[in-house]
């Protein structure tokens, strides 16, 4: 394997199950549900691992989000990220010996459904079914939906193929990241987005609930995955919400809106989009897992508003990490470029994600009542590891009493 400088790639999941993934779009419009599902699967010879970035438009969206010229970015992204695969088998058959607890995952600003595969695949390898939502609130760097072709177009029938497979009578529509307009106040936009994002997470859970009940679902994307195999496979009394950055705020908003989520994990949450008045209405346990370099006093102060004497609210900080230590980018760049682009911290990225994942699993076991061995990592919830800080490294200014 060589040392970590030369070996780039998303680390394989460590749990006992092989991991499959498939894409699901129900209702072709922008109001529908779109997510990548990760699940325990059968070991299979045939299945391929999908490309980390599904098609060119996502790279265009990332370029726009990062304010790089698209044609310039094509060369950079192809060079840096063109050959990477996700550590899961596309459309592999579902297989689990027991009912799977469920996690809904929400991505950060400028991300999309595939960029957190190291986290989602790890959870699936440990027996979870994970739906990584692609948000349609214009906070993803790119996403797509379909509109109906005009009748004149439909008659022709031989439409040009786009880079992702479009059903026959539908036209693919791309939606890119919307930057703040000149002079626009940020809070109203972000608050509106976080509410839509929470609704999209709840909708994903509703769709999984239908699938679990054996309702016939029509996946617009026509993948070979057999959705009927998921009937009665999910333990919907054991459901959690998780997200990174804007997705961390989304997790908190979703906990407030939907009591079916029994707990939440917020990775380096960006608290700005949330209304303060929702904090007292969140009744479920929350675990804040922070990076060392991203947080600041105002943001931590808002996390602290969620502290409770009766509901478990935990916070740890992973030493040597940056905000981008949670998405997959951190594994795919060498040290020099990684540090230059703030995609890598001082800590080995595999160690950082491993600590985050194990702490998450311990927290989920505790609050979903799982009968697994994840409690072996309970100490991590309290920051008891040389690479962890209990609470935060940010100094909160105490007013003189």
The string of pLDDT tens digits covering residues 14-37 is 999 999 999 999 999 999 999 999
The pLDDT of residue 211 is above 50: yes
pLDDT at 352: 96
pLDDT at 3: 39
pLDDT at 164: 55
pLDDT at 163: 47
Distance CA 155, CA 334 (A): 51
pLDDT at 168: 76
Catalytic member of 106, 125, 132, 245: 245
User: Token pair for residue 163?
Assistant: 């880079």
Q: Name the pTM for this structure.
A: 0.93
- Name the band, by pLDDT with cuts 50, 70 and 90, for residue 74: confident
- Name the band, by pLDDT with cuts 50, 70 and 90, for residue 342: confident
Lowest mean pLDDT among 93-97, 195-199, 346-350: 346-350
Q: Which residue has the higher pLDDT, 111 or 169?
A: 111
Beta bridge partners of 102: 129, 239
Domains and CATH numbers, the chain: 18-142+185-390 (3.40.50.1820)
pLDDT at 118: 97
Give every CB contact of residue 297 below 8 A, 6+ residues apart in sequence. 394, 395, 396, 397
pLDDT at 8: 81
Name the average pLDDT for the chain: 90
Side-chain half-sphere exposure of 265, counting CA atoms within 13 A: 28
Specify whether the CB–CB gap between 29 and 145 falls below 8 A.
yes
The pLDDT of residue 4 is above 50: no
Distance CA 62, CA 389 (A): 32
- Name the band, by pLDDT with cuts 50, 70 and 90, for residue 166: low
Beta bridge partners of 263: 240
Is residue 107 among the annotated active site residues? no
- Please, what is the Cα angle at 167 between 118 and 172, to 5 degrees? 70
Is residue 245 among the annotated active site residues? yes
Specify whether the CB–CB gap between 121 and 132 falls below 8 A.
no
* Number of residues that this document lists for the chain: 401
The percentage of residues in the chain with a pLDDT greater than 90, rounded to a whole number, is 75
pLDDT at 65: 85
The pLDDT of residue 160 is above 60: no
Distance CA 326, CA 316 (A): 14
The percentage of residues in the chain with a pLDDT greater than 70, rounded to a whole number, is 92
The pLDDT of residue 161 is above 60: no
- Name the band, by pLDDT with cuts 50, 70 and 90, for residue 199: very high
Distance CA 182, CA 397 (A): 33
Lowest mean pLDDT among 30-44, 183-197, 337-351, 366-380: 337-351
User: Token pair for residue 212?
Assistant: 């679990």
pLDDT digits (tens, 9 = 90+) for 89-127: 999 999 999 999 999 999 999 999 999 999 999 999 999
CA distances from 251 to 50, 287, 330 (A): 27, 11, 22
Catalytic member of 23, 91, 137, 268: 268
Q: Return the sign of the alpha-carbon dihedral for residues 88, 353, 362, 196.
A: negative
The pLDDT of residue 392 is above 90: yes
pLDDT at 397: 66
Beta bridge partners of 20: 39, 89
Is residue 268 among the annotated active site residues? yes
User: Token pair for residue 306?
Assistant: 């969620």
Catalytic member of 107, 135, 323, 367: 323
pLDDT at 155: 57
Cβ burial, residue 375 (10 Å; 0-12/13-18/19+): middle
Specify whether the CB–CB gap between 380 and 359 falls below 8 A.
yes
CA 284 from centroid of its chain's CA atoms: 20
pLDDT digits (tens, 9 = 90+) for 217-226: 889 998 999 9
């Amino acid at each position: 394997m060589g040392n970590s400088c030369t070996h780039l790639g998303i680390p394989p999941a460590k749990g006992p199950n092989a991991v499959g993934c498939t894409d699901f779009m129900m209702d072709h419009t922008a109001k529908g549900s779109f997510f990548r599902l990760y699940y325990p699967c059968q070991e299979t010879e045939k299945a391929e691992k999908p490309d980390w970035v599904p098609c060119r438009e996502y790279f265009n969206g990332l370029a726009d989000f990062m304010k790089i010229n698209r044609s310039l970015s094509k060369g950079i992204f192809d060079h840096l990220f063109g050959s990477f695969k996700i550590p899961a088998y596309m459309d592999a058959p579902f297989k689990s010996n027991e009912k799977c607890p469920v996690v809904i995952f929400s991505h950060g600003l400028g991300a999309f459904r595939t960029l957190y595969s190291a986290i989602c695949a790890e959870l699936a390898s440990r027996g979870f079914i994970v739906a990584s939502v692609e948000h349609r609130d214009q906070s993803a760097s790119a996403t797509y939906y379909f509109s109906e072709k005009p009748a004149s177009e439909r008659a022709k029938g031989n439409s040009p193929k786009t880079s992702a497979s479009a059903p026959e009578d539908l036209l693919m529509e791309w939606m890119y990241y919307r930057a703040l307009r000149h002079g626009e106040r940020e809070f109203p936009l972000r608050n509106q987005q976080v509410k839509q994002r929470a609704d999209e997470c709840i909708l994903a859970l509703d769709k999984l609930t239908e699938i679990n009940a054996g309702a016939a679902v029509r996946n617009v994307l026509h993948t070979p995955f057999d959705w009927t195999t998921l009937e009665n496979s999910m333990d919907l009394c054991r459901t959690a919400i998780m997200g990174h950055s804007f997705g961390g705020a989304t997790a908190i908003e979703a906990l407030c809106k939907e009591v079916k989520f029994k707990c939440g994990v917020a990775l380096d949450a960006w608290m700005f989009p949330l209304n303060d008045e929702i904090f007292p209405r969140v009744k479920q346990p929350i675990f804040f897992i922070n990076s060392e370099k991203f947080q600041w006093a105002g943001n931590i102060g808002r996390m602290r508003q969620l502290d409770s004497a009766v509901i478990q609210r935990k916070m740890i900080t992973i030493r040597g990490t940056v905000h981008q230590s949670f998405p997959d980018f951190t594994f795919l760049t060498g040290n020099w470029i990684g540090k230059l682009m703030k995609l890598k911290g001082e800590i080995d990225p595999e160690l950082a994600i491993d600590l985050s994942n194990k702490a998450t699993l311990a927290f989920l076991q505790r609050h979903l009542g799982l009968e697994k061995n994840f409690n072996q990592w309970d100490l991590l919830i309290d920051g008891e590891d040389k690479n962890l800080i209990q609470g935060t490294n940010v100094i909160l200014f105490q007013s003189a009493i």
